[in-house]
């Protein structure tokens, strides 16, 4: 401790002693001589009215007026103590104590005083001077004489509100007890029935009873949440299977058995295989599968993007698109005639300074290469990679629509503009057709949207899957975990169903 602090401590102790000694003595004297008390009171009022803060002059005078009114009512009261209190607001004394307080903001034994000595303490805050006086006169001066406890609670409440902090004295203890929901305090508030106390009691009741109720319901909520989590954990897999087995409402015209096939749960054996595939400790460069027709090889590292929260990479997406292509060739009658562009197409089409280069992709769709022309297809899927987001454009050649499917709900006007131009150029180049597809653009219907920051690739693949079946996408975020596992399984077996 440095010398200044030590000095201030000494000074403080002195001040304490001074205060402790002087106050009761003065009080005693004044109680004995009632005439003098009257004189002192009027002096105090005068002092207050002529207080040096001009800005609060009105407040001071009004509270003084109030004080006069109260005291006139109080004249019948047998104990003249409360009216004493204005006395100690004399400016000289207040200034002295203010310095003392400023140096010792931390709680000291002096704070552990009885309630009666707490009351003058409020006066030490010069800002609240007139207000504190007001409080003391309204609550401390009137109420507590007749009924001790509720008023004490009330004072504690008000005082701590006024001071903006909780001290360790008796009043605040009562206050905190009340907040904690101590039963005897509640009883008091419920029993409060006297006219003066009534206001206080009702306020206490308003504060404490809902507080108790809410804390109890919070406990209950936490308990229920815990139980729910537990049951979720226990029956998670079963529930998942059940939920997947029960079908979402069919928005489409296809029979129900087709939809159930879309959500067929993996068998236990398949799930184990997928788990070992996604979470094995093999070297990340180890090649898991090679798709011979497209020459795509999937390494361990690439496949790990199908783990929960993984961002899908282009190779996994392209392989899955290849598998969808094969599925369509395998089962003509079940799936629509579609053309699936890979993830590179849109990148290539939009590369270069102009942002559109038809010549760079002109050879991608030759009849010789595809074995069919785009004009024959019912639907054309264009995966679009934008920065770190996957979305899709579905070009419906049959219905002549152009639709942008974004799992984040984007509108993709720029993408649609590019692809409108591409369709026009492509049809002119390959089929010598003059078409203006700008009128084809339709705003997509209600789409299932992703609720996180990692599932857009999976959403995109499933938009393709569902659209190539001629079904509107009727899945949701909660199916994504299942779809990830299912895609891993389908990539592992190189067959999409």
Find out whether 404 and 386 touch, Cβ atoms under 8 Å: no
Pick 242 or 408: Cβ nearer other proteins: 408
- Cβ proximity to other proteins, 75 vs 369, nearer residue: 369
Nearest approach in angstroms of CB 282 to other proteins is: 18
Closest contact distance (angstroms) between CB of 427 and other proteins is 18
Q: How far is the CB of 448 from other proteins (least distance, A)?
A: 13
Separation CA 85–CA 87 (nearest Å): 5
d(CA 455, CA 389): 9
Minimum Å distance from CB 385 to other proteins? 5
Contacts 24+ apart (CB under 8 A), 213-217: 215/181
Which run of H or of E encompasses 489? Answer: helix 480-493
Q: Which residues have CB under 8 Å from 119's CB, separation 6+?
A: 85, 136, 140
DSSP SS3 for 271: helix
Closer residue to other proteins, CB minimum distance, 254 or 300:
300
* 196 and 143 Cβ atoms separated by less than 8 Å: yes
Handedness of CA 459, 380, 343, 281 (dihedral sign): positive
Q: How far apart are CA 409 and CA 444, in angstroms?
A: 9
Question: Smallest distance from the beta carbon of 462 to other proteins, in angstroms?
Answer: 14
- Residue 495 gets the label, from left (phi > 0), alpha (psi -120 to 50) or beta, of beta
| Beta carbon of residue 111, minimum distance to other proteins (angstroms, whole number) | 55
* Residue (of 83, 163, 151) closest to 121 by Cα position: 163
Q: What angle do CA 57, 59, 61 make, to 5 degrees?
A: 70
| HSE-CB for 299 with a 13 A CA cutoff | 8
Q: Which is nearer to other proteins, 135 or 422 (CB)?
A: 422
Provide the binding-site residues for other proteins, judged by CB under 8 A.
Answer: 294-297, 305, 310-315, 342-345, 347-348, 351-352, 361, 363-364, 369, 385-391, 407-408, 410, 450, 452-457
CB-nearer residue toward other proteins: 150 or 412 = 412
Choice among 67, 305, 338, 456 that is catalytic: 456
Q: Which of 252, 291, 389, 429 is catalytic?
A: 389
Q: How far is the CB of 102 from other proteins (least distance, A)?
A: 53
Closer of 48 and 419 to other proteins (Cβ): 419
Q: From the candidates 169, 406, 455, 465, which is the catalytic residue?
A: 406
The C-alpha atoms of residue 153 and residue 204 are separated, in whole angstroms, by 8
For this structure, is 456 an active site residue? yes
Q: Is 413 a catalytic residue?
A: no
Q: Ramachandran region of residue 350, left (φ > 0), alpha (ψ -120 to 50) or beta? A: alpha
Q: Which of 364, 460, 335 is nearest to 410 (CA)?
A: 460
Q: Are 166 and 126 in contact (CB under 8 A)?
A: no
Query: In angstroms, rounded to a whole number, what is the distance separating the alpha carbons of residues 325 and 283?
Result: 30
351 counts as catalytic? no
> Given the complex with other proteins, which of 54 and 363 has the nearer CB atom?
363
Nearer to other proteins, 235 or 453 (CB): 453
* CB 489 to other proteins: min, Å: 21
Residues annotated as catalytic are 389, 406, 456
């Amino acid at each position: 401790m440095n010398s200044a602090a030590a000095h201030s401590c000494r000074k403080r102790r002195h001040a304490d002693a001074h205060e402790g000694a002087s106050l009761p003595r003065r009080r005693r004297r004044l109680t004995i001589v009632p005439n003098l008390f009257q004189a002192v009171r009027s002096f105090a009022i005068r002092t207050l009215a002529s207080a040096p803060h001009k800005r609060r002059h009105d407040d001071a005078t009004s509270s003084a007026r109030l004080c006069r009114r109260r005291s006139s009512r109080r004249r019948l009261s047998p104990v003249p103590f409360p009216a004493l209190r204005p006395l100690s607001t004399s400016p000289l004394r207040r200034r002295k104590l203010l310095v003392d307080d400023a140096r010792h903001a931390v709680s000291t034994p002096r704070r552990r005083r009885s309630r009666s000595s707490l009351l003058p303490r409020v006066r030490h805050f010069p800002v609240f001077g007139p207000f504190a006086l007001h409080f003391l006169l309204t609550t401390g001066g009137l109420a507590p004489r007749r009924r001790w406890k509720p008023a004490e609670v009330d004072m504690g409440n008000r005082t701590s509100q006024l001071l903006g902090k909780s001290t360790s004295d008796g009043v605040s203890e009562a206050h905190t007890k009340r907040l904690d929901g101590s039963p005897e305090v509640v009883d008091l508030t419920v029993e409060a029935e006297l006219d003066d106390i009534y206001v206080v009691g009702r306020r206490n009741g308003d504060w404490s009873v809902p507080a108790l109720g809410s804390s109890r319901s919070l406990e209950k909520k936490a308990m229920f949440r815990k139980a729910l989590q537990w049951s979720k954990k226990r029956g998670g897999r079963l529930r998942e299977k059940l939920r997947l087995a029960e079908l979402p409402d069919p928005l489409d015209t296809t029979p129900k058995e087709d939809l159930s096939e879309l959500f067929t749960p993996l068998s236990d054996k398949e799930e184990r295989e997928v788990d070992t595939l996604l979470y094995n400790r093999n070297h990340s460069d180890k090649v898991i599968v090679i798709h011979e027709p497209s020459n795509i090889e999937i390494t361990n590292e690439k496949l790990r993007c199908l783990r929960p929260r993984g961002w899908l990479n282009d190779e996994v997406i392209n392989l899955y698109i290849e598998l969808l292509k094969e599925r369509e060739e395998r089962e003509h009658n079940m799936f629509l005639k579609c053309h699936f562009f890979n993830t590179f197409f849109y990148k290539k089409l939009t590369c270069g300074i102009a942002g559109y280069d038809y010549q760079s992709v002109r050879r991608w769709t030759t009849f010789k290469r595809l074995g069919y022309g785009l004009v024959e297809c019912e639907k054309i899927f264009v995966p679009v990679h934008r920065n770190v987001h996957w979305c899709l454009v579905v070009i419906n050649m049959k219905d002549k629509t152009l639709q942008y499917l974004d799992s984040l709900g984007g509108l993709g006007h720029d993408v649609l503009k590019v692809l409108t131009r591409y369709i026009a150029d492509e049809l002119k180049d390959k089929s010598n057709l003059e078409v203006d597809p700008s009128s084809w653009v339709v705003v997509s219907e209600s789409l299932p949207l992703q609720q996180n920051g990692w599932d857009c690739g999976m959403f995109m693949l499933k938009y393709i899957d569902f659209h190539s079946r001629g079904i509107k996408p009727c899945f949701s975020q909660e199916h994504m975990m299942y779809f990830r596992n299912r895609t891993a399984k389908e990539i592992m077996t190189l067959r999409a169903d």
